[in-house]
Amino acid sequence: MTETTEQGRTDSSDLMKESSQSGRKATRRGGGDPATRGRTTIADGVVEKIAGLAARDVVGVHAMGSGLSRTFGAVRDRVPGGSKSVTRGVKAEVGEVQTALDLEIVVDYGVSISDVAQSVRENVIAAVERMTGLEVVEVNIAVSDVKLPDEEDEESESRLQ
């Protein structure tokens, strides 16, 4: 074993004796659990993507976001190089160990809005907590529209060629 001097420093001659006796180099490695040797940060956008995909998986959710954001999103989706935004209608605030989410959804006509909201909340919480390890403290859901059966999708009609 190594001995420390009165000043609290390791005596290098003792390290040399120890290493020559064992036939190995004396190397110091950090102790403790590797999970405690650093910090992991998760961006708001990561949580927003996870929540957006989880919310869209629920039956009865027609779309995410307000009418205006869906219109802009539909145009952006048609632009070459543009991609579908899975974060549309999702806002996350991420702390070190907790997150809070605000979702804006459009539901299909005829579904129970309270049942859809409950299913969305459960699905989002399960997905975010499982994938990030963050505690979801709240999921606020705003239902901004109802998709009627005879309404045409804003995203399906194409004026651009």
Domains defined along the chain, listed by start? 1-38 (no CATH), 44-147 (3.30.70.1350)
Determine phi and psi for 45, rounding to 5 degrees.
Answer: -60, -35
Q: Please enumerate in sequence order all residues whose Cβ is within 8 A of that of 52, keeping only pairs 6 or more positions apart, or say none.
A: 64, 86, 87, 88, 89, 90
pLDDT of residue 23: 59
Is-contact 63 106, C-beta < 8 A? yes
Q: Which residues lie across from 146 on neighbouring strands? A: 107
**Interatomic CA distance for residues 20 and 72, integer angstroms:** 71
Tens place of pLDDT per residue across the chain (161 aa): 444 444 444 454 554 455 555 556 656 566 777 778 888 899 999 999 999 999 999 999 999 997 655 455 555 555 665 555 889 999 999 999 999 999 999 999 999 999 999 999 999 999 999 999 999 999 999 999 999 998 776 554 444 54
